[in-house]
Structure 1
Amino acid sequence: MFKRNLKSLTALMLIVLMIVSMVTGCSQQSATTQKTEQQSSEKLYNAGTYTGEGKGNNGTIKVEVTFTDAAIESIKVIEHSETAGLSDPAIERIPTKIVEGQTLKVDAVTGATNSSKGIIEAVTSCVQQAGGDVESLKSAESQAIKEEAKSIEKEADLLIVGAGGAGLTAANAAMENGVENVILIEKLASFAGASSIAGGLAGGGSKLQKSFGLTDDSPEKIFMDIMKGGEYANDPRLTWLWANEMGPTLDWLIEDMGVVIENQFSNFPEHSVQRSYYVTGKSIKMLEVLAEKFEAAGGTLMMETEAKSLIMDGDAVVGAVAVDGEGNTVNIKAEKTILATGGFGNNPDMLSEALDGVLFYGASSSTGDGINMAKDAGAELKFMDYVKMYPQGIEVEPGKGRVATVHSMQTTQNTGAIYVNKEGKRVVDENLDFVSIKNATKKQTDKIIYLVMDQKAWDKWSVLANGDENSSAAGKFTFEEQEKWFNTPDGTPIFRRGNNIEEVAKSAGIEGVALKETIDNWNKMVAAGEDSEFGREELFTLDTNGTYYIVEQKLRFATTLGGLSINENFEVLNANNEAISGLYAAGENVGGIHGYESMPTCMLSWAVTSGKLAGESVAAALNK
């Protein structure tokens, strides 16, 4: 009896415990559910659609952001003046990252940093308008699910590092000559390297040149022009090779690759024969066409994949280790590797102190990656203290510039515009070659000169600076920017105007009385028909009865002239002048080809010519 009652009591207690457990569990679940519902229903924003603006690379970026009470629902970029192709990844990805992650703590797209920042700034404005917590969103970790990084193994006959003018031509030339398995990697999300912002390319000896009736060019003339431009410090073997292949490469780009090149520049004094052209749709269009051609032929293009080091087998290079956009390590084994990573202008640690105060206007990706990797593999470097320095840079932000060369050149050739220094004195024949104007600028106080213009000259300069659809972003100054700078009394750039030359000069930091005397003397020489100071042949009066305009100009550089030592087969050489097995180079990361100076339109010409020849050289080696 007692045992039966004990069993009954035990069973009853178990039932009670089960009921309590169920009630407690339900209570906890209910509490959790209530907490989740409370979080999801918490009002974080004032629901609605807002517009905001941010500063991009080329101007204002305008976005439209829609909020619910609890989330950023959608983001649209509705207006911008960013460079097509270069900014596309940022415009596509940054809004998506913000919405998916519900955070403003997102990384800029490599190669489109300013565009990325402009979009984030515009969205931030919308968050403020919607009553959101900006600081919280700036520190919030992304809610998007991220996969764990992994190691990826790949193999290729040829690996090319860098998808600019040199890398893309090398890739296409190699495949055209029988190399089947080619992998081309690019650290940026778009074709935003130095080639994309190049103004044009030289094509002496091409069919295009002859179509303009220019039949008197020759490899000998091209060779001597380049050697003279480089102060005869150029590598003569490579220069002669380039002089002979410059024209055929331009023809190949047009006929085989489908690149549209049909317009010619005004002649540059450095070229004894007109041989400079620009790509229809700008240089980035050429890169896009070459990339499409490469992939259509079966090549593998990997964007946002940055090479970190070369893979060595003894003294031979057998590929590279890279990291892709998802953080995965990519080990690429290859029989041959071509480095086409560009220069090092945006790497202060590799630059000479002599460049202090000189504006950088080149590609942000120019950080010397290929040069440093090859150096670790034993490569010999040369001309590392030299860059292609130009005059006529305009400082749009501290230390950074844009190009005013063609605008200024065409203005001085056709009007009475003159160059003066801070002391108000003329400094040079305004229509001499770039090197002469650069050297004159170097001699002036603070290495600064000023372009002084009347209304006629300004009207010409302003329109040229505003540009058109073919204008490079590096040389474009919109009408809106020009007007804004005239109304900005402090900081850079210095744009000044007014009817009293002494007052305008003073506001620009120029000695006013001296400048007035200089202008008066210039007009007297024009009336006399002779520039007795500098021998300028194009003589036009500078009008003293209207508005004066002054624009400050500084020295600038975008490209570097130093880099790897190579032979005629584009093989990278070591300190003993011996080829490093498996390693080739093309483009700006080759040193010595330009000597101490690079002539206008020659950097891009060398990139595509050397790329094509390097691709052909590798193909010949692999097909033996």
Structure 2
Amino acid sequence: MKKQFVSGLIILALAAAVAGFGCKTTGKGTGLSFNPGTYEGTAQGFGGPITAVVTVNADSIVSIEFKDHSETPVISDPAFEKLPKEIIQYQTAGVDAVSGCTNSSNGILGAVKAALLAAGASEAAVTRAPGTQVSAGGTIKKTADVVIIGAGGAGMSAAVEIINAGGSVILIDKRPAVGGNTLLAGSAMNAADPERQKSITMSREEMARIEAILAEKPQNDMMKSWQDTLAREIQAYKASGANYLFDSPSLHKLQTYMDGDYVGNAELINIYGDKALDSVNFLTDLGAKWIPQIQAAVGATWKRSHTPTTDLGTRGASFVLPQANYVASKGGEVMLDSRAESLVMSGGRCTGVKGTTNSGQAFEITARKGVIIAAGGFGANIEMRQKYNKHWPTLDESVQTTNGPQATGDGIVMAEKAGANLVGMEWIQLIPTYGPGVFTPYIENQMYVNLNGDRFVAEDGRRDVLSKAALEQPGAKFYILSDANTVVNGMTSTGTNVDERVGNGYIYKAAALEDLARQMNVPLANLQASIRQFNQSVRNGNDPLGRSVFDKEFGTPPFYAGITSPMVHHTMGGIEINGKAQVIDTKGKIIPGLYAAGETTGGIHGSNRLGGNAITDVVTFGRIAGRSSME
């Protein structure tokens, strides 16, 4: 639907029924009750406030309009096109956000919700899940070799392997589109990749990190074997006289295990590290393309993060759409707008999935060989966050999430009811660098300062450390500083147009530090002192805060500052699996026919996930689950 500008309003939905979009749910049975009229509601989007103008009658939402807003064109368009139609069709603001424009979606949904509450409706009625009060025809029944719950990166990677093994597959997803949280990924995929990493020079500080890892007391035989392998590799590296950035699967495994505080499952981490580069190549073979530079994502602690191009739309699209396109081309079936609700168990074996479509129709899918749970984590489920949280002051509604609204832990709940064991549920990761004030996931040429203009943390640290430090700053907020080494002609190396975002209330730009400090409302002297400290650390490698990942000195205008604060990003705990992605029950036994992969599982990342490790996990164990289900 094209946008029409009338009296300052962007009119996106003029009638309750939209041609070609299906039938509207009536007010009967929805619990809706309004004071008829037109109401306004406002909520925060990506670029600033979004105001909805909603007209209602006694029991129905009639039309939705939006006043002029500051959302980014093209990126936010799908949300403005789709959400008003769905809200009117299903008569609820409880529809899912649109992948790829989550912040804009949340602003739209929040604004409509506020308007509906102002009209006198109850919160339960205006936020209920679509289809919960709608009846439809008889039960849909289908059969396939393997049924996959979740059409994100893990589910799609599994589907590719099932098809390649000659099997049939049906993927179920409650969203109206494929991709899940994978589609929202910032861009990093970690793998030791020596050929690409040879263009990076290794610093003394990075070698010192490796030596410290080798000096650590091994926690078990697996860790000792990694250290022994790394010791041999480093000895050969030094003997060769090389000066490029060293990396190997053994180093990647050790950093994953150690920076997860030895909580992770060493068997799974061993598989993960060995298969990481193969997972990158798997995506490449399916059509994913990569920028040449290998970088370090926030919290990665090492320069091994691979960044895709934006050929497929968002960078996150490259982690799931190549698989999705392949699955579609080979006849794989995807049931969208379909919520899996329970696993079918027969004689101790998982044999299928039951659920309901968003239009209210029941379905039951029988699996001849197995069921794979790839439904993601629970970062958007406040109740589950609060239930399992042990390490943060609170994870209630005051703490936002980077996750899409679909990340509610459905697969974990279903698996637990079927007897699956859960591990590491208390380990919930916050990321300090997300939102409208952030424009690159990489840290080499960025520094963090608090609202007083002072550096407060080593920017290359673990995400939990960075988030804890940020939460201790005034207002629990901080600025990310960048200059022309990060933003060239208004663009980042990963293709983000930063200049388009300047003026959104979160990002500031200036040709001189004096002007930047004024816009940030921080003391110039403090800002200058922080920059001097940073630059001296780049020159001598002796950062008082302990940072070791650097690139260039800060000081080439124009200068940028983006304000941000920590948000729930990843849930490390979940369903326990073994090395074949088979689900383990509470007695330590395999549940026949049941597999799991991706963020819905626990045990790989321990207490802290390294930035860029999740996509590798999703693809690697998604593929393993797919192959195992066909054995």
Question: TM range, normalised to the smaller chain?
Answer: 0.5 to 0.7
Which residue of 424, 446, 457 maps to 1:411?
446
Question: 1:330: how far off?
Answer: 0.5
Which residue of 84, 91, 103 maps to 2:81?
91
- For structure 2, which runs of at least 5 residues remain unmatched after alignment? 12-42, 53-61, 201-243
Aligned twin of 2:174:
187
Which residue of 449, 470, 479 maps to 1:451?
479
Aligned twin of 1:37:
none
Q: Does 1:299 align with 2:332?
A: yes
- The question of whether the paired residues in 1 share the 8 Å contact of 2:87 and 2:95 is answered with no
Aligned twin of 2:254:
224
Aligned twin of 1:593:
604
Q: Which amino acid aligns with 1:563?
A: G
- Counterparts of 1:365 and 1:564, CA distance in 2: 18
- The question of whether the paired residues in 2 share the 8 Å contact of 1:203 and 1:275 is answered with yes
Aligned twin of 2:146:
158
Which residue of 552, 555, 564 maps to 2:575?
564
- The question of whether the paired residues in 2 share the 8 Å contact of 1:58 and 1:83 is answered with no
- The question of whether the paired residues in 1 share the 8 Å contact of 2:428 and 2:570 is answered with yes
Which residue of 152, 162, 171 maps to 1:174?
162
- The question of whether the paired residues in 1 share the 8 Å contact of 2:307 and 2:494 is answered with no
Question: 1:309: how far off?
Answer: 1.1
Question: 1:596: how far off?
Answer: 1.3
Aligned twin of 2:317:
284
Of the two, which has the highest radius of gyration? 1
Which residue of 243, 248, 251 maps to 2:281?
251
* Closer/same/farther in 2, CA of residues 118 and 234 from structure 1, 3 Å limit: closer
What do the CA deviations read for 1:353-405 (whole angstroms, capped 9, x no partner)? Answer: 625265421222110000000011111111101123333345x6xxxxx6466
- The question of whether the paired residues in 1 share the 8 Å contact of 2:157 and 2:622 is answered with yes
Q: Does 1:110 align with 2:151?
A: no
Which residue of 339, 343, 347 maps to 2:381?
347
- The question of whether the paired residues in 2 share the 8 Å contact of 1:498 and 1:549 is answered with no
* Closer/same/farther in 2, CA of residues 484 and 579 from structure 1, 3 Å limit: same
Question: What TM-score comes out, normalization by structure 1 length?
Answer: 0.68
Alignment of 1:598-613 (within 5 A): 598-613=609-624
Look up the SS of the partner of 2:592 in the other structure: strand
Alignment of 1:358-507 (within 5 A): 358-393=399-434, 403=438, 406=441, 409-412=444-447, 419-420=449-450, 425-430=454-459, 434=463, 437-438=466-467, 440-441=469-470, 444-445=472-473, 448=476, 450-451=478-479, 457=482, 470-471=495-496, 479-480=500-501, 482-485=503-506, 499=514
* Closer/same/farther in 2, CA of residues 122 and 549 from structure 1, 3 Å limit: closer
Q: Which amino acid aligns with 2:476?
A: I
- The question of whether the paired residues in 1 share the 8 Å contact of 2:484 and 2:558 is answered with no
- Corresponding residue pairs, total: 515
Alignment of 1:13-28 (within 5 A): none
Aligned twin of 1:4:
none
For structure 1, which segment, 551-560 or 316-325, has the greater mean C-alpha deviation from structure 2 after superposition? 551-560
Question: 1:434: how far off?
Answer: 4.9
Q: Does 1:53 align with 2:74?
A: no
Aligned twin of 2:191:
204
- The question of whether the paired residues in 2 share the 8 Å contact of 1:86 and 1:191 is answered with no
* Closer/same/farther in 2, CA of residues 205 and 322 from structure 1, 3 Å limit: same
- Counterparts of 1:56 and 1:521, CA distance in 2: 32
- For structure 1, which runs of at least 5 residues remain unmatched after alignment? 1-46, 64-71, 125-133, 397-401, 413-417, 488-494
For structure 1, which segment, 233-242 or 50-59, has the greater mean C-alpha deviation from structure 2 after superposition? 50-59
Look up the SS of the partner of 2:565 in the other structure: strand
Look up the SS of the partner of 1:167 in the other structure: helix
What do the CA deviations read for 1:524-566 (whole angstroms, capped 9, x no partner)? Answer: 89689766743667695779xx999865443333111000111
Question: 1:220: how far off?
Answer: 2.0
* Closer/same/farther in 2, CA of residues 49 and 563 from structure 1, 3 Å limit: same
Q: Which amino acid aligns with 2:377?
A: G
- Counterparts of 1:452 and 1:80, CA distance in 2: 22
For structure 1, which segment, 227-236 or 182-191, has the greater mean C-alpha deviation from structure 2 after superposition? 227-236
Q: Which amino acid aligns with 2:272?
A: W
- Counterparts of 1:521 and 1:117, CA distance in 2: 35
- Counterparts of 1:228 and 1:259, CA distance in 2: 31
For structure 1, which segment, 301-310 or 196-205, has the greater mean C-alpha deviation from structure 2 after superposition? 196-205
Question: 1:192: how far off?
Answer: 4.9
* Closer/same/farther in 2, CA of residues 541 and 315 from structure 1, 3 Å limit: closer
* Closer/same/farther in 2, CA of residues 339 and 498 from structure 1, 3 Å limit: same
Look up the SS of the partner of 1:482 in the other structure: coil
* Closer/same/farther in 2, CA of residues 523 and 243 from structure 1, 3 Å limit: closer
Aligned twin of 1:130:
none
Aligned twin of 2:36:
none
Q: Which amino acid aligns with 2:573?
A: G
Q: Which amino acid aligns with 2:96?
A: T
Which residue of 550, 556, 566 maps to 1:555?
566
Q: Which amino acid aligns with 1:195?
A: T
- Counterparts of 1:159 and 1:452, CA distance in 2: 44
What do the CA deviations read for 1:413-458 (whole angstroms, capped 9, x no partner)? Answer: xxxxx62465x6542344556565445435x3468353385xxx55
- Counterparts of 2:404 and 2:302, CA distance in 1: 29
Q: Which amino acid aligns with 2:614?
A: M
Question: 1:227: how far off?
Answer: 1.6
- Counterparts of 1:62 and 1:577, CA distance in 2: 52
Question: 1:273: how far off?
Answer: 5.6
Question: 1:155: how far off?
Answer: 1.6
- Counterparts of 2:612 and 2:459, CA distance in 1: 20
Whichever structure has more helix as a proportion of its residues is: 1
- Counterparts of 1:315 and 1:381, CA distance in 2: 18
- Counterparts of 2:155 and 2:191, CA distance in 1: 22
- Counterparts of 2:564 and 2:64, CA distance in 1: 43
For structure 1, which segment, 147-156 or 181-190, has the greater mean C-alpha deviation from structure 2 after superposition? 147-156
